[in-house]
Amino acid sequence: MPKTITTAQDIATLGTILGVWAHPDDESFVAAGILATAARNGQTVVCATATEGEAGIQDITKWPAETLGATRVAELRAALAVLGVEQHVWLGYPDGGCAEISQAKAVAGIRSLLRRFQPDTVITFGPDGLTGHPDHCAVSRWATLAAGSVRPRPRLFYAVHTPEQHEHFKPADARLNIFFNIDQPPLRAAENCVIAYELPRDIMALKHQAFKVMPSQTQKLLRVLTPRAFYRAFGAEYFVEYNPQEDEPMTDSDTMKHQPESYWKGKLTPEQYHIMREKGTEVPWTGIYVDNHASGMYRCAACGQELFSSETKFDSGSGWPSFYDVAATGRVELHEDSSAGLQRTEVTCANCGAHLGHVFPDGPADKTGQRYCINSAALDFKAAK
Ligand SMILES: [Zn+2]
Ligand SMILES: [Zn+2]
C-alpha cells in the first residue's frame, strides 16, 4: 500500500497534477482542496473539463438554457481563480453526451494533454462516476485508458466518498438528486484511501468560496446544506489509487489495433483466435452465453471493452447470443461483408478491432429492430454485483 496522502506536504509529492472532469463544477466538488493546496505549494495544476455543463439546468428564470454554457464557463474561470489553478483546457463535448463520443478520439485527446503537461498525477472519477453520471463514467474511462498508454505512466487516482461523508450528503441528495443514477454510491472507508485529505481551515474557506462563485451550479446545494453540513460533506477529499495490475488493465484503441498477431495468439484461446482474428463463427447452440440470462455486462474477450448489456439480450432462436443494442454508441464498428456469398454487416470491437459477429435488421420491432448476433467466444460476461 503506498504512503497515505493526508497533509499539504504529502500533496506536494503528487507533483504536477492533471484533473480530468466532465462538468464545470466537478473539480470543486471532489478536489478543490487538493487543487488549491497544490497550487499554493507551487505545483503545476491543470484541469480539463469535457463539457460546459450546458444541460444541467437548475433555475431557468435566473440562468436560461441558451446562455447556461457561457454562464458556467465564466463560473469555472472564477472558481479556478479562487483555487489558484492557472491552467485549464475545455474538451468541447456536449453535456450529457460524453458516453456517445468516440472513445478512441476522446482518449487521444487526453493523451495529447498528458504529453503536453507531463503530469505526475492524474485525478478523476472512478469507473462508477462517483454520482453515477454517465459523463463522469466516460471521462474516467478516457483518463484511465490515456494514462495507461503513456510512459512514464502517471499515478492515477479515483474520487470516492466515505460512509461518514455520504451521511452528510443525504439531505442534499434527497432534495437535489445528486446521485441520480445510483442508489448507493460505492463508498470506501477512509483507511482504504490513498488520499485522505482533511482540508485545513484556510483551504476549506477557499473551497467554500469556489462553490459560491458558481451559483448556477451550487446555489441550491448551498441553500439545502447548513454550513456545518457543508463542512462535513466537503471538508475532506478521498481518492483511491488505480492499480492496473489489480484492476484489469484495458489498453487504448491505438495500441490494441496495432498489436501483432503473435500478441493475440498468446492472449486468446485457439477458438477465440479463430473467431476474433480470423472472422470464424462458432457452431450454433454451442456457445456458453446462448442461454445465459444473468444480468451483467458482456465485454470484448480480447480487450475487455464493455460491449453489450444483459438488458438488451433476447432469445432470438438463432443459437447465438443476440442483443438489440450495444452498451453505448461507439463501442462497435460495422463493416459491409460480402464473404460466404452473402451480403451481411460485420460487427467488430471498436477498441481492438476483433471480429464479434454480424448485425441483422430482424431484431425486436418494438426496440431497435436490430439483432446483434454475436459469438459467445468473443465475449466475456461479468455478472452484476
Ligand atoms: Zn459532473
Ligand atoms: Zn475488443
Quick one: 220 and 279 in the same domain? no
How does 346-370 read in b/e, with b if 16+ C-beta sit within 10 Å?
bbbbbbbbbbbbbbbeebeeeebeb
Domain harbouring 150, CATH code: 3.40.50.10320
Expressed in angstroms and rounded, the spacing between residue 218 Cα and the centre of ligand 1 is 12
- Using left for φ > 0, alpha for ψ between -120 and 50, and beta otherwise, residue 62 falls in alpha
Domain harbouring 375, CATH code: 2.170.150.20
Domain that holds residue 128: 8-241
DSSP 8-state class, residue 14: T
Which pLDDT belongs to residue 1? 59
Quick one: 168 and 273 in the same domain? no
Expressed in angstroms and rounded, the spacing between residue 52 Cα and the centre of ligand 1 is 10
DSSP characters over 333-364: EEEEE-GGG--EEEEEETTT--EEEEEES-S-
Quick one: 269 and 146 in the same domain? no
Expressed in angstroms and rounded, the spacing between residue 236 Cα and the centre of ligand 2 is 38
Instruction: Please name the residue that has the C-alpha cell 454520482.
Output: 131
Question: Are the CB atoms for 301 and 377 separated by under 8 Å?
Answer: yes
Which pLDDT belongs to residue 27? 98
Any domain includes 377: yes
Catalytic residue among 47, 98, 300, 373: 373
Quick one: 275 and 236 in the same domain? no
Quick one: 153 and 46 in the same domain? yes
Domain boundary among 241, 273, 299: 241
Which pLDDT belongs to residue 344? 94
Any domain includes 248: no
Quick one: 344 and 218 in the same domain? no
Q: Which residues of the chain have pLDDT under 50?
A: none
Any domain includes 161: yes
Quick one: 277 and 166 in the same domain? no
Quick one: 229 and 264 in the same domain? no
Q: Which helix (H) or strand (E) holds 17?
A: strand 17-21
Quick one: 294 and 156 in the same domain? no
Which pLDDT belongs to residue 265? 84
Quick one: 219 and 288 in the same domain? no
> Annotated catalytic, 373?
yes
Pairwise CA distance, residues 221 & 51, whole Å = 21
| Closest ligand to the CA of 52 | 1
Q: What total of structural domains would you count in the chain?
A: 2
Quick one: 177 and 301 in the same domain? no
Residues whose Cβ atom is located within 5 A of ion ligand 1: 22-23, 26
Any domain includes 15: yes
DSSP 8-state class, residue 269: -
Which pLDDT belongs to residue 187? 84
Any domain includes 237: yes
Expressed in angstroms and rounded, the spacing between residue 86 Cα and the centre of ligand 2 is 38
Which pLDDT belongs to residue 252? 76
Quick one: 206 and 73 in the same domain? yes
